[in-house]
Structure 1
Amino acid sequence: MNFIFKKIPVSTPTNNLKSIPLSSLRIFPALILSILFLGSCTQSTEKKQPHDQNKPVRYLALGDSYTIGESVPEPERWPNQLADSLRVAGLFVEEVSIIARTGWTTAELQQGIEEEEPLSEYDLVSLLIGVNNQYRGYDLNIYRKEFKELLQQAIGFARGNKEKVFVVSIPNYGVTPFGQSRGEERIRQELLIYDAIADSIASTFDIPFVNISPISEWAKDDPSLIAEDELHPSGEMYSLWVKEMIPTVREILSEQ
């Protein structure tokens, strides 16, 4: 709280002090302390309250094959597993809205959003996109531009509140049998660049970036973390992602 004191011209300091009753001089410091106390109370009451557990949480997940859960049953998709984890924690989470499709690039996700026309009514929005831009060898500047646009759209779907949005890194599919046959290290290095771009853009909006890429690399030594198509994550892998996301998501929901 800032105080503005206006100087009042006086003839002499001594005469001015004599004109002020002694009781007023004693009250003035107490008055200042009272104002400061009230100001601190006001600031504390302005802090955001946790999400009302009786109020439904509406969650929108934007992405590609990873978000739609290619090659795993619907309940094992990571957005659905995330919702289940929140329900176990006592939150009332509605059925997850997912706008994602296998093979989508950033531009195709934008088109999919345009066709779906989601409402700006969500309490939580996630964005995971870019692997197909990398796979097709698209210009990085295209990804940079379209990812930023998608993130701005995600904020819009969260009622314009960026604090309801989080970004997820692109998993390293280079460790899968499919990826190993196409240049494991090259894929890894290229995806690191994509993730760095996404992380940088997210940080400019002060939006959290959940890095699940290191976890995705565990699949190199554990085939159970890879789906039967030998490319996409298994439900077990998605469970590990969710454990990584939960602290961030709980914090997001506690600030609403």
Structure 2
Amino acid sequence: MLTNPDAEKAKFSFLSLGDSYTIGESVDESARWSVQLADLLRQSNVDVTNPDIIARTGWTTAELQDAIKASGNRKTYDLVSLLIGVNNQYRGQSQERYRTEFRDLLQTAIKFANGRPGRVFVLSIPDWGASPYARGRNRNQIADEINAFNAIAQQECKSAGVSYVDITPLTRQAAGDESQFASDGLHYSGKQMRQWAEIALPTATSLLATP
């Protein structure tokens, strides 16, 4: 978990929860999508700190929840993001398990937002089947499974009153463009994650404008 020494100086605090896509595997800290989002918010005259981050490469929903508990973080935040599920899909875990654990994580995120679902937003799961790493794999199957997991996330967000931001099409459009991917061929470059930040910006701005 990362903490920000300047957090107390900003009007709004921000927590970003997730896996490799949130921690920004294989890219600099400044290229992480949520860090880029905070920068875009500040450019829009929204006084927000860089995010605290609870994320690690490889985490499933259950592992993220366990890590949150182990972190002992009792702070509350003005804005909370969640991006999780690709490792559930990658490991072949069931959709039913994902639904249950994702629902629990949504409630955890809402608690971090001081009980305000209107200050929480979820990013959809990127389609890693479009990455160079996925060459030789059944990309149609990966896409179908990612779609199913994302449909669950979207349904659960709607039920919980949480905003949902669909970045999956952006990750599919990246296919064939090496500049959109990190050096490992699996994770995304700062250039691709900039697009996630840009598409999330109107939602984040709107959420922070509400009480």
Distance 1:240 1:101 in 2: 21
Provide the residue aligned with 2:26 in structure 1: 71
Alignment of 1:96-115 (within 5 A): 96-115=51-70
Which of structures 1 and 2 has the bigger CA Rg? 1
Q: Which runs of 5+ in 2 are unaligned?
A: 1-8
Distance 1:244 1:198 in 2: 18
2:210 pairs with 1:255: yes
Does the CA-based 8 Å contact 1:179-1:187 persist in structure 2?
Answer: no
CA-to-partner distance for each residue in 1:81-106, whole Å, 9 max, x for gaps? 00111111112222310000000000
CA-to-partner distance for each residue in 1:139-166, whole Å, 9 max, x for gaps? 1111110000000000000000110000
Q: Could you tell me which of 121, 126, 131 is aligned with 1:171? A: 126
Alignment of 1:138-217 (within 5 A): 138-217=93-172
2:87 pairs with 1:132: yes
Give aligned-pair identity as a percent. 46
Distance 1:227 1:122 in 2: 30
2:174 pairs with 1:219: yes
Distance 2:48 2:121 in 1: 17
Q: Which has the higher contact order (CA 8 A, sep 6+)?
A: 2
Distance 2:25 2:102 in 1: 22
2:36 pairs with 1:81: yes
Does the CA-based 8 Å contact 1:57-1:94 persist in structure 2?
Answer: yes
Shift of 1:194: 0.3
SS at match of 2:16: strand
SS at match of 1:109: helix
Distance 2:204 2:48 in 1: 13
CA-to-partner distance for each residue in 1:110-130, whole Å, 9 max, x for gaps? 111011122242000011100
Distance 1:180 1:244 in 2: 28
Provide the residue aligned with 1:29 in structure 2: none
Shift of 1:55: 5.6
Distance 2:124 2:170 in 1: 11
Runs (4 or more) in structure 1 with deviation over 3 Å come to none
Q: Which runs of 5+ in 1 are unaligned?
A: 1-53
Distance 1:251 1:189 in 2: 31
Q: Could you tell me which of 45, 49, 58 is aligned with 2:13? A: 58
TM (normalized to structure 2)? 0.93
In structure 2, the CA distance between the partners of 1:220 and 1:55, relative to structure 1 (3 Å rule), is: closer
SS at match of 1:60: strand
**Aligned residue pairs, count:** 203
SS at match of 2:35: helix
Does the CA-based 8 Å contact 2:10-2:49 persist in structure 1?
Answer: no
